[in-house]
């Protein structure tokens, strides 16, 4: 088996052996417990992973704490920025390896993985290297109070040891989203990848070493949530802050686990994102953009649209056009550029999605497209495939309209007035993302400003600037990350008040 710091191209017959990455080295787990990771396109075992015990997590956190008082803690910001830029360079040099690892874990399509997600992970390090290079200076505040004249100098200090608990849907993009700002701000980090997708975070350990990141600054512990690495990390007294992306109910459990230690928590949680399509939209662009927003990555992006509201005059035409888009993608080998459908993350997740298919039928949905499992041949017949699925005819309180499915699905509802569309869009416990499609720029902006969501796209989807704020309203999360918006979470602010009286 190849060592995890140098992943050769995957063959499904030779699973990789993955250790935890602690204090700059790959270490076997202390308990000897292991778990399997499978590729969902054919259900083959692709990795045998050491499950981190409480002792392993303790070692990782202690290594991170020790690193804070080593060279990393006192490093010049320009030098830290240079190291982060080297991390980016090395990811790009090894992009094929990272893409191969990500595909093995997720069954994602080669094109968007190699050309999109891996370079985007590298770009996170560039963005935060640039910010570190410029310093994190804040404006001084002069004051003249009855207590005396003074100048206040707010300054940023690292938070300490950050725990990053990551999901499986965009493993590299969403873990680097946390790792890059944490390191740029001078913290040390312990990453807990999803048990479904341990590879890219593990491989990144070797890149960190090669780039000159001191041992202990970047650590990876593999395992599950409750009773495993996730829970041990959240409870560890040496962790100062927890950044989490995943399901809303997991976010609630993590917040409860962190409360006793008064640890800061940043939560990027679930969504049930609406798309509002007015009759005056550019029809073809709205259909293409909406299809991408529903079906991309098999619907497994927190920003995917699952509720569509279409103005009545174009409702039937829109439903027909989206049906054609739903029926086009084809399953197959994710490494073949001709494959256009990727699988769900696991057979277990497919069971959950199939239960929603059943719930939609029970509630009386019209199944416009999909609703089942696509035909696949040979080795791929064991994969976690699902048909892109469209429903109409449900009431707004049906389960598939209310709950996040996290698959390539949507329900389409007609609307008659702008107020009704906004009311539909906001009638959700979640508030992560939304789209508005209209040729009337003023109306589109007006509607966008009334939608309760952390990001509202007008006439587009997934145009995501890494320096823009990201996070959710309501049960979609707490806090904002992205560019400067990450700084308040990854740093403590100290105010130095100089008396000039
Ligand atoms: P999940 O909540 O099941 O798991 C996420 C991570 O939390 C995993 O690493 C898991 O092992 C860990 N975990 C689970 N229980 C834990 C516990 N009690 N203590 C500590 N760690 C625990 O989420 P998932 O299934 O991996 O991802 C899909 C979900 O993530 C969807 O709901 C999706 O909307 C959401 N998501 C949100 C965003 C966002 O930015 N808002 C982005 C991507 C995914
Ligand atoms: O900004 C991005 O690149 C991106 N893919 C964000 C997705 C977030 C939630 O899954």
* Tens digits of residue pLDDT in 292-313: 999 999 999 999 999 999 999 9
Cβ-based neighbour number of residue 55 at 10 Å: 12
| Inter-residue contact 408 to 299 (CB < 8 Å) | yes
Q: 355 pLDDT exceeds 60?
A: yes
pLDDT score for 501: 82
Q: Which is the closest atom of ligand 1 to the Cα of 249? A: 2
Q: 4 pLDDT exceeds 70?
A: no
**170 Cβ inside 6 Å of ligand 2:** yes
Q: 317 pLDDT exceeds 50?
A: yes
Residue 67: closest CA among 281, 226, 205, 215:
215
Distance CA 315, CA 393 (A): 12
Alpha carbon of 213 to ligand 2 centroid (Å): 26
Which residue has its alpha carbon closest to ligand 1 atom 20? Answer: 230
User: In the structure, what pLDDT confidence band is assigned to residue 10 with cuts at 50, 70 and 90?
Assistant: very low
Distance CA 244, CA 254 (A): 8
Q: Which H helix or E strand runs over 349? A: helix 347-362
Which residue has its alpha carbon closest to ligand 1 atom 17? Answer: 225
**432 Cβ inside 6 Å of ligand 1:** yes
Which residue has its alpha carbon closest to ligand 1 atom 35? Answer: 246
**245 Cβ inside 6 Å of ligand 1:** yes
Distance CA 478, CA 219 (A): 25
Q: What percent of the chain has pLDDT over 70?
A: 97
pLDDT score for 13: 60
Q: Output the average pLDDT for the chain.
A: 96
* Each residue's pLDDT tens digit, 403-440: 999 999 999 999 999 999 999 999 999 999 999 999 99
User: In the structure, what pLDDT confidence band is assigned to residue 3 with cuts at 50, 70 and 90?
Assistant: very low
User: In the structure, what pLDDT confidence band is assigned to residue 2 with cuts at 50, 70 and 90?
Assistant: very low
Q: Which ligand is the nearest neighbour of the Cα of 228?
A: 1
Alpha carbon of 255 to ligand 1 centroid (Å): 13
Q: Is 195 a catalytic residue?
A: no
Alpha carbon of 424 to ligand 2 centroid (Å): 24
Considering all CA atoms of the chain, what is the largest pairwise distance in Å, rounded to the nearest integer?
A: 81
* Each residue's pLDDT tens digit, 187-226: 999 999 999 999 999 999 999 999 999 999 999 999 999 9
User: In the structure, what pLDDT confidence band is assigned to residue 14 with cuts at 50, 70 and 90?
Assistant: confident
**302 Cβ inside 6 Å of ligand 2:** yes
Residue tagged active-site, from 268, 387, 404, 481: 268
β-strands 273-277, 433-437 pairing: parallel
- Average pLDDT (262-275) is 98
β-strands 477-478, 264-268 pairing: antiparallel
Residue tagged active-site, from 302, 306, 404, 452: 302
* Each residue's pLDDT tens digit, 230-266: 999 999 999 999 999 999 999 999 999 999 999 999 9
**192 Cβ inside 6 Å of ligand 1:** yes
Alpha carbon of 166 to ligand 1 centroid (Å): 6
- Average pLDDT (326-338) is 97
Provide the whole-model pTM.
0.96
**173 Cβ inside 6 Å of ligand 2:** yes
Alpha carbon of 173 to ligand 2 centroid (Å): 7
Which residue has its alpha carbon closest to ligand 1 atom 30? Answer: 246
Q: Is 268 a catalytic residue?
A: yes
Q: 50 pLDDT exceeds 60?
A: yes
Radius of gyration of the chain (CA): 23
Q: Which is the closest atom of ligand 1 to the Cα of 170? A: 43
| Inter-residue contact 436 to 309 (CB < 8 Å) | no
Q: Which is the closest atom of ligand 2 to the Cα of 116? A: 3
| Inter-residue contact 195 to 224 (CB < 8 Å) | yes
Residue 109: closest CA among 170, 177, 195, 38:
170
Q: 476 pLDDT exceeds 70?
A: yes
Alpha carbon of 245 to ligand 1 centroid (Å): 5
Q: Which ligand is the nearest neighbour of the Cα of 478?
A: 1
Which residue has its alpha carbon closest to ligand 2 atom 1? Answer: 464
Angstrom CA distances, 190 to 30, 333, 480, stand at: 17, 33, 20
* Each residue's pLDDT tens digit, 67-126: 999 999 899 999 999 999 999 999 999 999 999 999 999 999 999 999 999 999 999 999
Sequence-ordered strand ranges (E) for 329-470? 366-369, 389-392, 409-415, 430-431, 433-437, 455-458
Task: Give the SS3 label for residue 144.
Answer: strand
User: In the structure, what pLDDT confidence band is assigned to residue 5 with cuts at 50, 70 and 90?
Assistant: low
Alpha carbon of 407 to ligand 2 centroid (Å): 16
Q: What percent of the chain has pLDDT over 90?
A: 96
Cβ-proximal residues to 217 (8 Å cutoff; 6+ apart), any chain: 64, 67, 72, 183, 188, 189, 208
More confident residue, 182 or 1: 182
């Amino acid at each position: 088996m190849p060592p995890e710091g140098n992943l050769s191209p995957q063959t499904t017959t030779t699973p990789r052996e993955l250790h935890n990455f602690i204090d700059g080295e790959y270490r076997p787990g202390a308990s000897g417990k292991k778990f399997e990771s499978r590729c969902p396109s054919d259900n083959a075992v692709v990795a045998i992973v050491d499950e981190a015990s409480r002792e392993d997590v303790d070692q990782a956190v202690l290594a991170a704490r020790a690193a804070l008082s080593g060279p990393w803690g006192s490093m010049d910001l320009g030098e830290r920025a240079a190291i982060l830029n080297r991390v980016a360079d090395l990811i790009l040099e090894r992009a094929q390896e990272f893409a191969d690892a990500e595909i093995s874990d997720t069954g994602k399509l080669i094109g968007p993985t190699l050309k999109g997600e891996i370079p985007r992970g590298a770009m996170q390090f560039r963005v935060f290297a640039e910010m570190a290079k410029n310093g994190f200076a804040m404006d001084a505040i002069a004051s003249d109070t009855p207590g005396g004249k003074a100048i206040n100098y707010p300054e940023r200090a690292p938070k300490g040891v950050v725990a990053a608990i990551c999901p499986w849907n965009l493993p590299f993009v969403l873990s680097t989203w946390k790792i890059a700002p944490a390191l740029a701000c001078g913290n040390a980090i312990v990453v807990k990848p999803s048990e479904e997708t341990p590879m890219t975070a593990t491989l990144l350990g070797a890149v960190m070493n090669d780039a000159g990141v001191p041992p202990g600054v970047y650590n990876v512990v593999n395992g599950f949530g409750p009773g495993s690495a996730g829970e041990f990390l959240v409870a560890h007294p040496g962790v100062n802050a927890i950044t989490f992306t995943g399901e809303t109910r997991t976010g609630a459990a993590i917040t409860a686990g962190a409360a006793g230690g008064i640890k800061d928590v940043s939560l990027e949680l679930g969504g049930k994102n609406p798309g509002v399509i007015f009759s005056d939209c550019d029809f073809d662009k709205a259909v293409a953009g909406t299809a991408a927003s529903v079906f991309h990555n098999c619907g497994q992006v927190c920003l995917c649209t699952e509720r569509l509201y279409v103005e009545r005059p174009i409702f039937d035409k829109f439903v027909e056009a989206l049906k054609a888009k739903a029926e086009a993608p084809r399953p197959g080998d994710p490494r073949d550029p001709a494959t256009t459908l990727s699988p769900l993350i696991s057979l277990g997740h497919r069971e959950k999605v199939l239960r929603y298919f059943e719930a939609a039928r029970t509630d009386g949905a019209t199944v416009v497209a999909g609703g089942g499992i696509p035909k696949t041949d040979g080795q791929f017949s064991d994969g976690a495939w699902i048909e892109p699925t469209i429903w109409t005819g449900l009431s707004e309180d049906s389960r598939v309209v209310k709950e996040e499915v996290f698959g390539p699905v949507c329900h389409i509802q007609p609307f008659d007035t702008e107020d009704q569309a906004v009311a539909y869009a906001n009638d959700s416990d979640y508030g992560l993302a939304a789209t508005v499609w209209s040729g009337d720029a003023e109306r589109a902006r007006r509607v966008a400003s009334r939608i309760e969501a952390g990001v509202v796209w007008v006439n587009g989807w997934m145009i995501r600037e890494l320096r823009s704020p990201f996070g959710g309203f309501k049960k979609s999360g707490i806090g904002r990350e992205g560019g400067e918006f990450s700084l308040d979470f990854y740093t403590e602010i100290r105010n130095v008040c100089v008396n000039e009286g």
